[in-house]
Structure formats: C-alpha cells, structure tokens
Amino acid sequence: MTLNLDKPIKFSPLHRLQWEEAQQKDVILYPEGMVELNQSSAEILKCCDGTRNLDQIVSELELKFATSGLKNDITNFLEIALKNGWIQQNQ
C-alpha cells in the first residue's frame, strides 16, 4: 500500500484522534490500543479531513507554520499512517 498523490486523505473512522489532558499529548485511540503523537504528527493528522490531498496538506502546514520544505517529512509520516490504518484514501 502506497500513498496516492492525488486522492484526498481522510483520518480513519475506525480510529479516534483526541487530546489527552493527563498526558498533554494528542493520541490515536483504537480497539484496545493507543498511540501517543508528537505535535507535528498530530498537526498532520488533523489536516486529514477527506478534502485535501498530499500537496494541499503540505502547503496548508507550511503556511500555518510559516516554513517550507516539509514535504518529505509529511510524506514519510503519512506512509506510516497509511500502513497502520490511521488514514484512508477512498475515492
């Protein structure tokens, strides 16, 4: 499974992304498990709302953090996310 560059990316409805006050961290929750996220991973996943594809997510985040050259890091993380089933590309 590899990331499709054109299709929009959506956070999986079988998982939940939520802020945990006790840990001061965003986490992904799924059946009987939890993954703690660092801030940048969480920011990427929050952009996966099913309307944006990879390039759009990259420009959104580069704009938000007033920086450039994020594409590699974001792509690498999203590949992992796809493999773990955290994100989907349906249409």
Partner 1 sequence: MAGSNKTNSTPPRWLLAELTYACPLQCPYCSNPIDYANYQSELSTEDWKRVLSQARKMGAVQLGFSGGEPLTRKDLVELVKHARDLGYYSNLITSGYGMTETKIVQLKEAGLDHIQISIQASSQELNDHIAGTSSFDHKKSVAHLIKKHGYPMVLCVVIHRENIHQMAQILEMAEELGADYLELANTQYYGWAHVNRDLLLPTKEQFQQAEKLAQAFKDRVAGKMKIYYVVPDFYEDRPKACMNGWGTTFLTIAPDGVALPCHSARELPGLDCPNVNDYSIETIWNESRAFNFFRGVDWMKEPCLSCDEKSKDFGGCRCQAYLLTGDMYAADPVCSKSSDRAVIEQAIDSAKTASAISTNEKPLIFRNSKNSKIMTRN
Of the two residues 22 and 66, which places its CB atom closer to partner 1 in the complex? 22
Among 6, 33, 66, 72, binds partner 1 (CB under 8 A): 33
20 in contact with partner 1 (CB under 8 A): yes
The answer to whether 27 and 18 are in contact (CB under 8 A) is yes
Rounded to an integer, what distance in angstroms lies between the CA atom of residue 42 and that of residue 29? 13
16 in contact with partner 1 (CB under 8 A): yes
Among 5, 34, 63, 80, binds partner 1 (CB under 8 A): 34
Using CB under 8 A, list all residues that contact partner 1.
1, 13-16, 18, 20, 22-23, 27, 29-34, 83, 85
